[in-house]
Amino acid sequence: MHAIEPYYRWRDYYVASEDKKSPFYKRQYSEFEFSNTIYNFYIHPQWDDIGSETLYIKVIYADYAQNFAVIEMIGEWNDCISNDIMLLKRKVIDKMLRREIYKFIIIGENILNFHADEDCYYEEWYDEVCDQDGWIVAMNFREHVLAEMKSCNLQYYFNFGALFDLINWRTLQPLHLLASVEMTMNKLNSRLLPPFPDEQR
């Protein structure tokens, strides 16, 4: 796991440690010292600690004019033991919401497992972004992780599924990713609309 580093090709556009509005402003990193671990496995030092023993993140992009952020994750998302959603919500998301970030893209391809507990923090997060016409999209999570999320009804708070996973986010610039996600959201929303009267025949 030590070789898996956060996505770095957007560093010309954004660096969280250099962003005065970021929860990780002025955070310093070592390229050589490996100190953070997940179950005794060292991880790359560029990942950010949020207080969890098993879940680390990286804000790889934030745009305050467009009101969106992209957060990459690694490890095990465990609400049952360490209440990871509470740590994420209070230490990162709440601070970003105060900076008018209301659209969140969560990249989960390096999340190995998910263990659910109560959904109150998810509901709170969802309500806060919806009040500002925002959303939360989870992309590239493993099938068994999504199955566990669905088992506790997180699909009511997060948008996820095959259409989002088809977006090859690593080939896109950040604003192009936002446009692709919003286009996918519009497609999904249009499917939920009732048919026009002449289509009911």
Beta-bridged to residue 138, according to DSSP, are 106
Asked if the structure places residue 45 within a domain, the reply is yes
Q: Which helix (H) or strand (E) holds 107?
A: strand 103-115
| Pairwise CA distance, residues 37 & 111, whole Å | 14
Asked if the structure places residue 201 within a domain, the reply is no
DSSP 5: -
What CATH number is attached to the domain comprising 133? 3.30.750.24
What would the pLDDT profile of 143-177 be if each residue is shown by its tens digit? 999 999 999 999 999 999 999 999 999 999 999 99
Asked if the structure places residue 2 within a domain, the reply is no
Q: What is the DSSP string of 140-156?
A: S--HHHHHHHHHTTGGG
Q: What is the pTM of this model?
A: 0.92
Average pLDDT, integer, range 61-78: 98
Question: Which residues lie below 8 Å from residue 61, measured CB to CB, with a gap of 6+?
Answer: 10, 13, 14, 69, 70, 174
| Pairwise CA distance, residues 98 & 120, whole Å | 19
Asked if the structure places residue 1 within a domain, the reply is no
- The encoded tokens of residue 178 equal 């936002």
What would the pLDDT profile of 77-100 be if each residue is shown by its tens digit? 999 999 999 999 999 999 999 999
Average pLDDT, integer, range 182-187: 92
- 201 pLDDT above the threshold of 60: no
Asked if the structure places residue 194 within a domain, the reply is no
